[in-house]
Structure 1
Amino acid sequence: MQRLPLIAPQPPRLSLMTDALRAIEARGTYSNGGPVVRGFEAAATARLFGGQGACLAVANATIGLMLAIRHAAGPRAGGDALALVPAFTFAATAQAVQWAGLTPVLCDIDPEDWTMRADAEAAAFARYGDRIAVVVPYATFGAALDLARYRDYHARGIGVVVDAAASLGTIDADGHQFGAGAPFPIVYSMHATKVFATAEGGLVHSGDTARIEALRRMSNFGFDGGRSAEGPGLNAKLPEVLGMLATAKLEELEGIAAHRAALDRVYRDRLGGFADAHGFQFQALRGSRPALQFQSLLLPRAFAGHRAAIIAALAGQGIGAGHYFSPHLGEQPWFRSSCVIDRALPVADEIAGRILSLPVTDGMTETDVDTVCTALIDACRSAGLDGLRVERRGRAVHSALIVGGGPAGTALLTAATKGDQLVPLAETGLAIVERDAVLGRGEIGSYAITSDSTAETFLTAVKDNVHGDIAALTEHPAGREVALYAGRLGVPLARSTPLLEATGARLGTLVAQHGGVVATRSEVVEARRTPQGDWAMRVRNLLTGDERVMRAANLVIATGGYQDRAHVAAEVIAGAPIGDLAGDRLVLGDDFLRLGGLDRLRARLAEVRAPRIAIVGGSTSAMAAAVLLLKASPALPLGAGALRLYHRRPLRPFYRSAEEARADGFTDFGAEDICPLSGFVYRLAGFRLEARELVLRMLGVGGRAPDPRMALCRLTGENDAAMRAELETADVVIGALGYRPRALPLYDAEGARIALMADHPGRPRLVDQRCRVLDAEGRVVPGVYGLGLASGHVPDGPLGGEASFSGKANGLWLWQNDIGRMIVDQILADRARAAA
């Protein structure tokens, strides 16, 4: 089988350069701007840029970006200055901005040429004004870029640095090397995978020779003629051996770039004719010739969810394919947590969701391109259109479909790995449908609080896993970061997201490798029982709006919980609905606990000198709200008893044993409050971590001193009038009354909506003790399971738990272990019965 790899590096061969290597050895100069590198810079300026300006060769393009951005930012680096960066680019662009001491603002891209769009830049300038120190556009995939508006920014004193990593060899509309003579730095890559392939290296060009000389000083530790640093700097110098490779590549560049451009035309001619029938879309190219590292196109919208299968089908034909810049920066955990993303990125979402990268290499022929195109069309027909028709005809029935691939949905997969059941589960036709671009993270990272699960609990999902690539996540940067919180009072939820996402990615890969289906950026709209007894789900692609039908013998609802203002407002507290007592002073606990919630409350109370805040609820979220208020920095002006927590049931702390509880001075428990399996006191009802510490203080356990700013108010029915008066006069009332399960619309075989217990008012449960979804009458809905926040499962019997517990059991450990395994076992048993 002929193999056509996606990338086939062909740098000049060192083995043919022995004389030049000996000359370097004879001179004894290996770096520090030796004659080979300086000769290459001069030759590149003359041959590529028509003698305009100057060039600086650097160790790699990322370091070149760091230097150029740091220089452009000047003294504003390290403060609150911002840099505009397109969301659809390589990680190096934003990483360089951060290393240069600025915060990236991610902007959406143009739907035609996939570069940073002008109106997104304008909106950012309108919002942030002078805080924007530098603009860093990216010449996407080696295409040229219209530099007119960036020249205007430069003229206005705004720093501009162009990331043109793949554009050495690109010709602009005037017939010149793209970027020639620009007044600001243009940074190119000479990495082995680029058209200008060496081993490693970068080239910075500008028409402003003084700017290049300033960057040269920065590339040598900030030295200016001596050994004393006169400004910021680092070691960015290109070694002489790599300069030798770069010099040789200059001789080859024109032929290579022209050859690849010819392959691009074949791709467009071959697939462009399918624009109506199949919907392949190509990047609109600026300039007269791109320098293509690979071919980039968009899959037809209807096939976007089948990209992994299409890539696998191409691989089966010996053809390499990928999806560069997917996920885009706004979907990557580090940048989501460290960049400014205050606007939606719909175009970047769609482009990243449909992008496909195909081979364009030095050794390919036009016949090879035709082979790739034929294989692509066949793969799309097989994995996309025909697959949809099979599902609509009802011939493809998955063993199970998980609705929701967030923390609960992936916890089910984790539970399967712990029993070495994930591969058998995937091989039976498991499917996962998730609204997000990736599995695992859900909405956890949007909360400003710490977890009620320990760092050790997060790590047990991966530690010693039977799948080596999952077990290796303990040494992944995300795993090491969570490990920093071992032995502490929880993990900041925003810091747990990278590990959840990394785990979700590897779980999803395992599922796909063993025959399962992972459909991201998709949602299940509804599920209907078929006459055959399985379930038909209407699944919508959120990028394209296209819908298809997927069938499954079992359905797992893992869509989490939610708070609804109407339900919270209707809750009767102290003899009256909380909505009547609080009016527009009512704040949902979920809104307050999210990032920015505390700031919104501060703004609300800005004119109140001595605010009085009421929290209604005895849940974990209620105590988390209290912790967030009490440790706010700067502190809120709370006087004695200004924060009051209203709760019905006694507040109980968790202990690992009765002996531990008594030793701490806590004796308010009996035999029915101890888990018979673990010996834990209040295993399910007890507060943990930060919430536990606050409860212990407020109860005065072990001589602890309560926080004078807070008061506990037990709702007993005897003091309703006084408490109603307090709630009516509080400046803010936070309704932290737990969550409702987010159920899926289900219909029976006749098309009638199935009323669920989850539809009841208040905080109903979704499932029974075996995690089976219940209808409004408490009957099991066949083949439908549920887990996750507010699902309502209460461990008992072989799962343990104290007899006195009557609430809902939520917890990552439970989902990843006992609860998850319970569902997996039932699905596999059902499959075995069906096979028999």
Structure 2
Amino acid sequence: MPSIPLIAPNPPRFSDLAAELAEIEARGIFSNGGPAVRAFEAEAVARLFGGQGDCLAVANATLGLILAIRHAAGRRLRPGALALVPAFTFAATAQAAAWAGLTPLIHDVDPHTWASDPLIEEQLLARHGDRIAAIVPYAAFGRSLDLERYAWLARRHGVAVVIDAAASLGSCDERGLNFGAGAPFAVVYSMHATKTFATAEGGLVYSGDKDLIAALRQMGNFGFGSARAAEVPGMNAKLSEVGGVLAMAKLGQLDVVCDHRATLAQAYRAALPRLGAGFAEQAPMAKGRQALQFWSMLLPPALAAHRADLIAALAAKGIGSGHYFAPHLGMQPWFQANALIEPVPVSDNLAARVLSLPITDGMTVADVETVVDHLVDALALLAPDGAVAAPAVLACSVHETVLIGGGPAGTAMLTAASKQNRLAALTEGLAVVEQGAALGRGELGGYAIRSDSTAETFLSAVQDNVHPELAALVDHPAGIAMAQHIGALGAPLVDAGDLLAVTGDRLRDVARAHGASILTGHTALHARRESDGRWRTTVRDGAGQTRELLSRNIVLATGGYQCQQAVQAAKLAGGALGDLAGDRLVLSDSFLRLGGLDALCKRLTDVRSPRIAIVGGSTSALASAVLLLKADPALALGAGAITLLHRRPLRPFYPSREAALAEGFTDFSDADICPVSGFVYRLAGFRLEARELVLRMLAVGGRVPEPRLALFQLDQHGDAEARAVLDAADVVIGATGYRPRALPLLDAQGAQIVLASDAPEPGELVDRHCRLRDAAGQVVPGAYGIGLAAGFVPWGALGGEPSFRGNANGLWLWQNNVGQMIVDAVLPAEPGAIRQAVA
């Protein structure tokens, strides 16, 4: 055993409790909330929580969490319901949420407190709404949380809160009250032998709400009511009488133990400068006392790779150390398969750098000095000159293809390769550059609307995939959530984003396994064409370091954006939209994002009967109308309150000529029918929710038009009429399309290659083979594009109606024909490998 172990359990000695144990024997009551447990609960309320509220002692803290989360989730508990859980915590936090019937939604933490990042919590609450049944923050290593803020979140969002305060018995505020005192929700503490409040095993649930504790007490006793019959969900979570005796004894020792450990922590803190630059600790509490199970610090980034060496060096000197919590939750296989995991770069950093050092009841300040001395010696062995070199950064790496952008379009190309069973061949020489922390989601999950692709389309990317890691996603929580929308009018983009995110994680793993370089958190700055025809792409990471990637091909999957200047310059009613609408103009992209509707409603707070004009005939324009019409609570929209100003007739998609005629829709010709699929308005037609609205407005099949919406086709009205509509509007939503984000490209002499999308008269970024085009319309060799606003138009065997004008966007196309086209171009074709498909 090490002379200074990382953790030295120090529960009360049984030999000192002979009289109390004899009393248990004499009473013959060993469990079921006997006198010893009840006495401890009452004393804990009095000593720790100022006599306010109530406590429930349980067999262990995990059972306490399960009870509290299950009770708190209440009416929001249903298939697919979520619990917010930080990545940097012990597995029990998320396991308890799962046992309570919720899917953990694992998210990142604050880099200073190491607890849940408040901004991320609010972003996820906005994104997922009432699908989030509970927030389960972890009080990291006994550090207190802002409970008033969590009470406010609970009120504002109607969401349950349960605090995992496993290590916090003994953490107190400046008044001496334990962390959690007065909390309106459940706060759950551990009394495990390894904790500061050490017994053999046990947990304590506290709340300032006595009725809540009474409800949990009933649940913890099989759900029994007065008639010893189950009335509510229940389990056996009771602490034994022996556990109650141990807990009561430890309660009397707690202040001495915590004060001693705080002194040891201060000794570590004072010695930190001896270790050199770059070492850091968890931000200490501003007031009060933090109960400490051990002392954790962060190694400098350059030392992270040497953590195992440091732990081994300390062990050789009889000193225990560790790395709590590494791996964090997002790295653990069960959660990867059964939870939703957000990008967690801060937790990744903490897990890579954290080093936990001993703080035990038997240690002295001199022992802390011994630990630090040996750590300094170990550091000196690693770096005799006092500095550890950072891992070498490759100045230039060579690849076959560099994919710039790992969002929905970029990963769609990888999906297309997987469908051809060519993903391994593609990724063997691939580098992926993605500005975000992870592949897959991009910005898609940040929109408050439903997709114009079916749930089946999203699932088709993984269903029966040749890669088992991808095929298994149909049973992942994200796949299950998507399957619930099969047959519906699209899927919420929030859910689509979740599935794309976890698909991106799996594609990343497969790609890396076959040699790909996945550079998340990197920004591509520009690409220069070398004299030998290859591309030299310069990228920069989050620390500002640059590197170069040399490749035969580059693929731009950099997405599109709504250009404010272009929207303002849009011509109609004899003027520019920006001049006509002024400060009433709202970009559709902003409106359609999460929070956009709330912002618009706030803007119209004082308007009794608002009028809204939507300019454009795109999917975004129709989606804006749908979002307004479905607002909950409803906007006070009267008849014709929304006017859609559009140039071309609105066309609905139909799966066949016969289906259109059966509903009495005849406004099409042979030129509007795809010769490959037989679909009517395959490319130009609106689908799903937008299609239903168009059919209503056209009164097809006896449908009744939506009275709150009016269509205004610009070529059927004069400028004065159009201007009158705009003048009468309280808000004008500009939905005039997107432009591609094109990476700056340079020729061999360093001069910029002006792309077609950036020409004075902007054109399509790509040609019919997805090759980039310059301003003169010439192909840029070895450069390809895919994604929103790239300008690709299906042709030939890919289908599409002859009458179609414009460009086609859609995940199905990217994951099939378009993605396959680029894969074919950057990889040698294999006989029989190419499959053409029809959307």
Superposition pairs of residues 435-834 of structure 1, within 5 angstroms: 435=436, 437-542=437-542, 545-553=543-551, 554-716=553-715, 719-760=718-759, 764-829=763-828
1:489 Cα deviation (Å)?
A: 0.8
Deviation sequence 1:136-189 (CA, Å, 0-9, x none): 9744235x5599999xx9xxxxx9986432467x89999x9x959978786334
1:563 Cα deviation (Å)?
A: 1.0
Match of 1:32 in 2: 32
Superposition pairs of residues 202-601 of structure 1, within 5 angstroms: 202-204=203-205, 215=213, 218-221=216-219, 227=226, 235=234, 237-238=236-237, 275-276=276-277, 279-283=278-282, 297=298, 300=301, 322-324=326-328, 350=346, 352-356=348-352, 385-388=390-393, 390-391=394-395, 394=396, 396-435=397-436, 437-542=437-542, 545-553=543-551, 554-601=553-600
Say which SS state the counterpart of residue 220 (structure 1) adopts: helix
Q: Structure 1 residues 291, 585: closer, same or farther in 2, change over 3 A?
A: closer
Deviates more, 1:752-761 or 1:795-804: 752-761
Say which SS state the counterpart of residue 802 (structure 2) adopts: coil
Q: Structure 1 residues 618, 721: closer, same or farther in 2, change over 3 A?
A: same
RMSD: 6.2
1:411 Cα deviation (Å)?
A: 1.6
1:438 Cα deviation (Å)?
A: 2.7
1:631 Cα deviation (Å)?
A: 2.9
**Number of corresponding residues:** 743
The whole-number CA distance in structure 2 between the counterparts of 1:201 and 1:731 is 61
The whole-number CA distance in structure 2 between the counterparts of 1:652 and 1:823 is 30
Q: Structure 1 residues 793, 110: closer, same or farther in 2, change over 3 A?
A: closer
The whole-number CA distance in structure 2 between the counterparts of 1:507 and 1:8 is 40
Say which SS state the counterpart of residue 773 (structure 1) adopts: strand
Percent identity over the alignment? Answer: 52
Aligned amino acid, residue 671 of structure 1: D
Say which SS state the counterpart of residue 439 (structure 1) adopts: coil
Deviation sequence 1:219-260 (CA, Å, 0-9, x none): 233999971799998646436799889979x99x99x99xx9
Say which SS state the counterpart of residue 728 (structure 1) adopts: helix
Contact 1:222–1:230 under 8 Å retained in 2: no
Say which SS state the counterpart of residue 536 (structure 1) adopts: strand
The whole-number CA distance in structure 2 between the counterparts of 1:511 and 1:311 is 27
Aligned amino acid, residue 221 of structure 1: M
Deviates more, 1:263-272 or 1:574-583: 263-272
Aligned amino acid, residue 687 of structure 1: F
Say which SS state the counterpart of residue 427 (structure 2) adopts: helix
Deviates more, 1:284-293 or 1:213-222: 284-293
The whole-number CA distance in structure 2 between the counterparts of 1:464 and 1:140 is 41
Aligned amino acid, residue 632 of structure 1: A
Aligned amino acid, residue 527 of structure 1: A
Contact 1:450–1:492 under 8 Å retained in 2: yes
Contact 2:403–2:556 under 8 Å retained in 1: yes
Say which SS state the counterpart of residue 524 (structure 2) adopts: strand
Say which SS state the counterpart of residue 686 (structure 1) adopts: coil
1:737 Cα deviation (Å)?
A: 0.8
Say which SS state the counterpart of residue 504 (structure 1) adopts: helix
Contact 1:299–1:356 under 8 Å retained in 2: no
1:212 Cα deviation (Å)?
A: 9.1
Aligned amino acid, residue 463 of structure 2: K
1:640 Cα deviation (Å)?
A: 3.6
The whole-number CA distance in structure 2 between the counterparts of 1:198 and 1:464 is 50
Say which SS state the counterpart of residue 356 (structure 1) adopts: helix
1:619 Cα deviation (Å)?
A: 0.8
Say which SS state the counterpart of residue 524 (structure 1) adopts: strand
1:694 Cα deviation (Å)?
A: 1.4
Deviates more, 1:222-231 or 1:817-826: 222-231
Deviates more, 1:638-647 or 1:734-743: 638-647
Aligned amino acid, residue 470 of structure 2: I
Q: Structure 1 residues 597, 111: closer, same or farther in 2, change over 3 A?
A: closer
The whole-number CA distance in structure 2 between the counterparts of 1:215 and 1:138 is 20
Say which SS state the counterpart of residue 675 (structure 1) adopts: coil
Give structure 1 stretches of 5+ with no counterpart: 1-6, 13-23, 78-82, 122-133, 154-158, 339-344
Say which SS state the counterpart of residue 441 (structure 2) adopts: coil
Q: Structure 1 residues 664, 763: closer, same or farther in 2, change over 3 A?
A: farther
The whole-number CA distance in structure 2 between the counterparts of 1:557 and 1:509 is 21
Aligned amino acid, residue 817 of structure 1: N
Contact 1:222–1:233 under 8 Å retained in 2: no
Contact 2:220–2:238 under 8 Å retained in 1: no
Q: Structure 1 residues 284, 571: closer, same or farther in 2, change over 3 A?
A: closer
Aligned amino acid, residue 536 of structure 1: R
Match of 1:19 in 2: none
The whole-number CA distance in structure 1 between the counterparts of 2:377 and 2:214 is 44
The whole-number CA distance in structure 2 between the counterparts of 1:423 and 1:384 is 34
Q: Structure 1 residues 10, 181: closer, same or farther in 2, change over 3 A?
A: closer
Deviates more, 1:228-237 or 1:749-758: 228-237
Deviation sequence 1:447-467 (CA, Å, 0-9, x none): 221110111111111211112
Say which SS state the counterpart of residue 712 (structure 1) adopts: strand
Contact 2:224–2:231 under 8 Å retained in 1: no
Q: Structure 1 residues 749, 182: closer, same or farther in 2, change over 3 A?
A: same
Q: Structure 1 residues 181, 819: closer, same or farther in 2, change over 3 A?
A: closer
* TM-score normalised by structure 2 residue count: 0.70
Deviates more, 1:585-594 or 1:574-583: 574-583
Deviation sequence 1:598-643 (CA, Å, 0-9, x none): 3333333344444332222111111111222233344434444332
The whole-number CA distance in structure 1 between the counterparts of 2:814 and 2:200 is 47
Q: Structure 1 residues 192, 784: closer, same or farther in 2, change over 3 A?
A: farther
* TM-score normalised by structure 1 residue count: 0.71
Aligned amino acid, residue 537 of structure 2: M
Give structure 2 stretches of 5+ with no counterpart: 1-5, 12-23, 78-82, 122-133, 153-159, 312-321, 359-369, 832-839
The whole-number CA distance in structure 2 between the counterparts of 1:496 and 1:628 is 17
Aligned amino acid, residue 792 of structure 1: G
Contact 1:220–1:236 under 8 Å retained in 2: no
The whole-number CA distance in structure 1 between the counterparts of 2:8 and 2:464 is 37
Contact 1:61–1:187 under 8 Å retained in 2: yes
The whole-number CA distance in structure 2 between the counterparts of 1:118 and 1:710 is 39
The whole-number CA distance in structure 1 between the counterparts of 2:45 and 2:729 is 71
Q: Structure 1 residues 709, 218: closer, same or farther in 2, change over 3 A?
A: closer
Say which SS state the counterpart of residue 644 (structure 1) adopts: strand
Deviation sequence 1:540-597 (CA, Å, 0-9, x none): 334xx42221304132222221112211111112442222322222221112222232
Aligned amino acid, residue 513 of structure 1: A
Contact 2:401–2:826 under 8 Å retained in 1: yes
Contact 1:572–1:578 under 8 Å retained in 2: yes
1:280 Cα deviation (Å)?
A: 5.0
Deviates more, 1:508-517 or 1:765-774: 508-517
1:802 Cα deviation (Å)?
A: 1.8
Contact 1:164–1:186 under 8 Å retained in 2: yes
Say which SS state the counterpart of residue 829 (structure 1) adopts: coil
Aligned amino acid, residue 352 of structure 2: L
The whole-number CA distance in structure 1 between the counterparts of 2:782 and 2:66 is 55
Q: Structure 1 residues 416, 701: closer, same or farther in 2, change over 3 A?
A: same
The whole-number CA distance in structure 2 between the counterparts of 1:795 and 1:188 is 60
